[in-house]
Structure 1
Amino acid sequence: MKSYIKAISYYLPQFELNNFIIEKSFPEWSIDKIAKKTGISSRYIAATDETSGDMAIKAAEKLFEEHNIDKLSIDYLILCTQSPDYFLPTTACVIQEKLGLKTSIGAFDMNLGCSGYMYGLGLAKGLIFSGQANNILFITSETYSKFIHPQDKSNKTIFGDAAAATLISSEDGFAEIGNFEYGTDGKGANNLIVKNGAMRNLKNNNEAIQDEFGNYLSDDYLFMNGSEIFSFTLASVPKLIDNTIQKNNLLKENINLFVLHQANMFMLESLRKKCKIENEKFYIHIDNCGNTVSSTIPIALYHAQNEKLLKKSSNILLAGFGVGYSWGGTIIKVI
């Protein structure tokens, strides 16, 4: 049983946080410095009363409208988010009702970050292969901005909010989904974490300290050890790429385009050079939306397709990596 990516759409919130606004709040963090270090000029931030569930619904509605999809054809819903509307019920159940999907479908949330798109594709392929579903609505939606301390200039600069909706089908699509490679190393869990708010540390303490770079850090907010994340990425992703290629019985020269998680420009360029990938085969789309966590790969695919870079019979390598630590990759073949 084959599985295909049939269509992708995405949604960005209304408020644009550009580098001019950030520089006004942090004069030492100049526009040129931000652009050079991150490759990001603007990112979009969810409104105070806008949730991941709200954005997921808007992304799905765009998918139905842009690609003329009958929502009653959906027989499974997967939502990937680390910022759900509630502890319970699962946000996917709320989305099912608000979208007007059938009640005879499966629906669940999965808690994964920057590797989430890869894991969601793999789960969707498994559901199709086992005969449990034919048309899966897979949504990635994240409001990391709500985890970031107002004075944490580093994370505020990198992350943007977004939602992407992907239809995965057993029937047809623009690209067939190949074999997967996964990885997990929980030893790195504390290097990208929001410690307070869930069951391990339920109560917030609202204490913040200032680090050597002037960022305010608190266990109530997102903490990212940038140097450790960078080291993990450079150690794990080249192996991930090689193993993904091998699992799909291909050679590196058979890959026509690499679409990796869009973390930041410095990390992407470091990976490209270490993996010895040509510029023209390495797709980057981060400038006008920032690191949107689990939505970076579908957003990049959306634009690569619109730019006619997904040519017939080409092999596109997808790879996600980050919080967990967690990583995953696959190859899609354009039909």
Structure 2
Amino acid sequence: MKWSLNLGRIAGIKILVHWTFVLLLGWVAFSEMQRGSDMQTTLLALAFILLVFFCVVLHELGHSLTAQRFGINTKTITLLPIGGVASLERMPEKPRQELLIAVAGPAVNVVIALILWLVLPSLGDIPTEEFFMRITPANFLYLLLFVNVVLVLFNAIPAFPMDGGRVLRALLAFKLGRARATQIASNLGQLLAIGFIFIGFFYNPFLILIGAFVYFGAYSENMMVQHLDYLRGHSVREGMMTNFVTLAPTETVREALNKLLMGSEHEFIVELDGAVVGTLTRSQLIQAVKEEQMQKPVAEIMSGEVRTFNVQDKLSEAYTELQKTRMPLYPVLENGRLAGVINTDNINEFIMIKSALTH
């Protein structure tokens, strides 16, 4: 994620904190100063926020390490003001695996809360409102216990992208299949999100932000799964383009620019006798023009590291890769030679045709 600070690695997973997290710390410090808190109380409040988000990291590690048991790696865990996001390479399609991965995160918070409950002395009387409003050394760990319980309850809400939504989908998928289960869980998540937004207008504006996050998370999850369902059983050969323009590595920037202007291609495959040697994008061409390199061969400005697909690869895997990397296109090979190209637009057109044929 852009504009994120790398805090290091845990179990091989990169831990990032987004710059907006600084805004949260600034808001906490400002709120304490507005209350007239001294420096010690302000620092204690900041330390509490940092410790809460350490618990969030442990929560996301619960998901990530469980996913690793099923061969699913996690590249990063990113801390945002509204929580943490573990970037799993993919979600498992088997309901049992998704259920275990989804439950693993809140289970970590249950363990943290249980340890604190066993270690801390009983509170006795029911805590007053003041107990929750102002942090002190005496209530520091009690509030941490309370926050972990809230994290468990909040994540239990059956709405994507929260864990409860994934648990609901996994349970429904045992009987209904993944696509239908996702649709039901997504619709419920969007309904709950609208409720969050409505309540937020009257009570807490922060609920509006959470509602928007849940609504669009549920929508995008549903769209992705429905699209993958249309692609299931199809190969890259069926979704690739075979009518495309290529460049030879010896062609000049001027010649490549002429092909750009004469056709509809924005990106080109650079190939030599059927072997892919690189790719060239419109932005690379424009940059070469700005630098007055019109006679330079495209081999000197192209990208030489090229990820390719085979015609027999699954179309769903190509779609997932394109969504993840945001690459403009990939070459498709057959017996090691260039047979076509594939991009997101063409797969989306394939999905539209499949959708029209099934309705």
TM-score calculated relative to the size of structure 2: 0.23
Question: Rg bigger for which structure?
Answer: 2
Point out the structure with the larger helix share: 2
TM-score calculated relative to the size of structure 1: 0.24
Point out the structure with the larger strand share: 1
